[in-house]
Chains A and B, each alone.
Chain A
């Protein structure tokens, strides 16, 4: 067993024996663990802000009629909720986990570009500060949905759209820098013997995700730049009056948007692929096929974007192509699910909190996958499109999918970070409340969507009332359950049962060879992987 020591430090820009003191430790840090921690706290903060917005939305939708807020503010809430959850909660949480775990998993002393790492984090608070600030301006926050279709987001947009555009630019730059850092780290800083096909799956999925980020975040930056030019510099990319085309916006946006949804799920696949073998005490089934399946999903994500646009009036042949391509995604996704189930089969399973979240991930993400398959069928999509069925679908893949994956990862690695086990009773309480809450919230949305309720409406016809009320109750259960999460986190940081180095009985990999808590500097001498 290779045990790295914390006594040696090969950085020359900060203290030689552990972290600096005071606030400047966090402002100037180039340590991957510090930066990972900051990313995770930042995304937790955003989760609570975005979650509060979700609860405002659900409160208004508790009953038919306008009760609490006005339609205009409702639209601002749906828009901000989407933007904050996608770009502020889910993506930074994954970057935070990558910062902490990728160097530990591949035996690297730090990220390859530590100073850039610091910048890519510190851009984020400013980007989201600017976005949130628009809520307090007279024009109000962006109100055109997180997909910001032109011309609603250009000719008809509130003046805060400019802040939104700069916010997107900043978070895009942050994501690209983070992704470059991860790729460079994985390509250059692997310990001797850590060949690509020996890398843990979390590293693999992030490796592929990082390439997706480098490929599509600039396209998002491009599309908002075009909006900026249309709004302020008299160009007409999306304005038909000057020879532009509003449908072009959707093509460019979804060329970014579809890979983006895989950016939000692939690292969760990786986390679950770490956790299930650990608690099944059995090696991951089909490691190589997992890598190939992830790569196939990433590749397919570039040629399916128009399935978000089945109702815009694409010609028949185009429609058929995108339908077939989208259906194909079910194959590699299925392979992954089958592999996870086979890993559990004839294992020796225990059900600690991270495993519970991982198992819920497999079941509920698969349900989201099924509704995704249904949505891929173009004729049926004419009925599903822009209804609550879609809302149910993407919340199933993003909440019990991506978010549960993140929570599972946090519980899985928390003993390594803090040196303490979590209180299992509290963790399980958090799990069951979240599990019940998430299903009570989102399952009824399938029904109201099929029954015909469009998404993004602040008020609805009477036949949708019962399920909306249930969904709202579920949302409050789920939302307040996350306070348990916060409580568990703080409690574990402050103390608890001392964690062993290996932490979990079935855990394997370099990150479990270092002490718990992980010292400030690790793998100054690269370990040797057999």
Chain B
């Protein structure tokens, strides 16, 4: 790297270029670490449910239904900028017991003259409820393609696990619809 370095001090016994090489490797490793933060963050979010992300499809299991508790689940939808689709939940809210499976429907319509691809991004509030939302089917798992003028009902089948903390009485499930044309698969 550098042939003109002063000679290392005899007494300290290190070779500067060795130290420098180690530090360069450390710097490169930290650059990699920056990228490693991306999957680490996802894993961390999935475990802790922080930031309200819900996980992918689960196998439907019949579980204990806690009929002593009723939780109100609200559905809200948002269109991100530049997403002209009509997008709404067909029911504003449902009441359900933890452990029971429920199906709800959302409606999307592409009013434009072009075929478009949309991606719904889920978020749950309070965030501590997120890890207790179990979905077997959700339109948010995949991109949704709608032809010009096409409308579609989209199902969501989910339950809240019976372990959901007892102080949670209302859960808000939010879906934001993005134009995913740039990321179409």
Contacts and interface: CB of A to CB of B under 8 A. Distances in A.
B178 A216 contact: no
11 contacts: A113-B1, A116-B2, A180-B23, A189-B16, A192-B9, A214-B30, A215-B30, A217-B30, A239-B183, A241-B121, A241-B180
B38 A248 contact: yes
B20 A180 contact: yes
Contacts of B15: 188
Interface string B109-132: 000000000010100000110000
Contacts of B14: 187-188
Given A214-B26, A240-B121, A222 B183 contact: no
Interface stretch (A80-88, A313-321, A335-343, A502-510): A313-321
A482 B145 CA distance: 61
A237 B35 CA distance: 10
A191 B8 CA distance: 11
**Residue among B1, B34, B49, B127 with the most chain A CB within 10 A?**
B34
Interface in A423-442: none
A359 interface: no
A163 to B, nearest CB: 21
B166 interface: no
A214 B127 contact: no
A247 B38 CA distance: 11
Contacts of A332: none
A312 to B, nearest CB: 8
A110 B51 CA distance: 51
A183 B11 CA distance: 17
Interface stretch (A10-18, A288-296, A386-394, A468-476): A10-18
Interface string B30-59: 111111011001000000111110000000
A226 B36 CA distance: 12
A383 to B, nearest CB: 22
A13 B26 contact: no
A222 B9 contact: no
A12 B4 CA distance: 8
A318 B50 CA distance: 9
Nearest to A112: B16
Interface residues of B, number: 46
B148 interface: no
Contacts of B67: none
A114 B127 contact: no
A238 to B, nearest CB: 10
A184 B19 contact: yes
A313 to B, nearest CB: 7
B9 A189 contact: yes
A188 B12 contact: yes
A242 interface: yes
A108 B5 CA distance: 12
A218 B28 contact: yes
Contacts of A223: 34
A214 B22 CA distance: 11
B144 interface: no
A125 interface: no
Interface in A230-252: 234, 236-237, 239-243, 245, 247-248, 251-252
A107 B33 CA distance: 36
Given A183-B19, A234-B182, A313-B127, A222 B6 contact: no
B90 interface: no
A334 to B, nearest CB: 30
A180 B27 contact: yes
Mostly, the B contact residues are helix
Nearest to A524: B6
A526 interface: yes
A188 B19 contact: yes
A12 B6 CA distance: 10
A190 interface: yes
B4 A218 contact: no
Interface in B149-185: 176, 178-180, 182-183
B80 interface: yes
B180 A216 contact: no
A243 B29 CA distance: 25
A252 to B, nearest CB: 5
B12 A187 contact: yes
Nearest to B41: A248
B35 A189 contact: no
Given A189-B6, A222-B31, A112 B20 contact: yes
Interface string A515-530: 0000000000010000
A113 B4 CA distance: 8
Contacts of B178: 240-241
A410 B29 CA distance: 35
B24 interface: yes
A113 B5 contact: yes
Contacts of A10: 6-7
A315 B128 contact: yes
Interface in B56-88: 80
Contact of B48 (A192, A243, A313, A315): A315
Nearest to A185: B16
Interface in A1-53: 10-13, 30
Contacts of B182: 234, 241-242
B6 A114 contact: yes
A104 interface: no
Contact of B180 (A12, A187, A242, A252): A242
B127 A222 contact: no
